[in-house]
Amino acid sequence: MRAVVVLPTYNEAENIARLLTAIRQASPGTDVLVVDDASPDGTGRIAETTGAELGGVTVVHRPGKQGLGAAYRDGFGRVLGEHYDVVASMDADFSHDPAVLAAMVDAIAGGADVVIGSRYVPGGGSQDWPLHRRLLSRWGNRYTAAALRLPVTDCTSGFRAYRANRLAAIDPGSTTSEGYAFLTELLRRLHHDGATIREVPILFRDRERGTSKMSAAIIAESMGVVTRWGLADAWARVRRRAG
């Protein structure tokens, strides 16, 4: 199957060359689209240089930092018209192991519409995380799954593979969320559209180089929109039962 990884970046100069090389080694036939938000540390330039050496790498230089959701909307919009069978996504900081990509693409070939690299299925986990961060992540994912009735244990994982025509069908360009809420919005739409969602175990490793983009504001936004969507979905179910 023809696959592409959409890779949003911002200030990942310490990671990007190594990651692109690791993706090429782990999955030689997979293309990569780097979507860089004008990183001041030169991430986009390094990606261009490394991509020219590796081949199969395209770099989009956006005018400034506009958020994770905006970067994915741009990236997905570009690759969905390029006849790919599988569109994958992952973080640029080595928290996601490129070696798992091939298994995720194989799962799409085996019938899944969405494959999620999950920390919370047997065999999965997080490495080098303090207890409070583990508890916050697990609680947030359980709350999200319950509020939206999603058959998923890791709703906020950004390590995913999508069947391209299924992703196109939900029109990701019309989403509005940023941060991890964007990832949840995609899952909610895919679930409502009847997509087959499968999870595979991953070991999530905290970044060793660079600075995390996570913030309290991103977490608060995600929980706020999940609550709003959950209430909207519950009201829709009541209206359907009423007639």
Instruction: Collapse the DSSP code of 150 into the 3-class scheme (helix H, G, I; strand E, B; otherwise coil) and give the result.
Output: coil
Q: What are 48's two structure tokens? A: 């261009």
Interval 208-228 mean pLDDT? 66
Which domain range does residue 62 map to?
3-242
| Segment 24-59, tens digit of pLDDT | 999 999 999 999 999 999 999 999 999 999 999 999
For the chain, what is the domain count? 1
Does the global pTM surpass 0.85?
A: yes
What pLDDT shows up at residue 108? 98
- The residues, any chain, with a CB within 8 Å of residue 233's CB and separated by 6 or more, are 148, 149
Provide the CATH number for the domain around residue 106: 3.90.550.10
- Residue 103 phi/psi, 5-degree rounding, is -65, -35
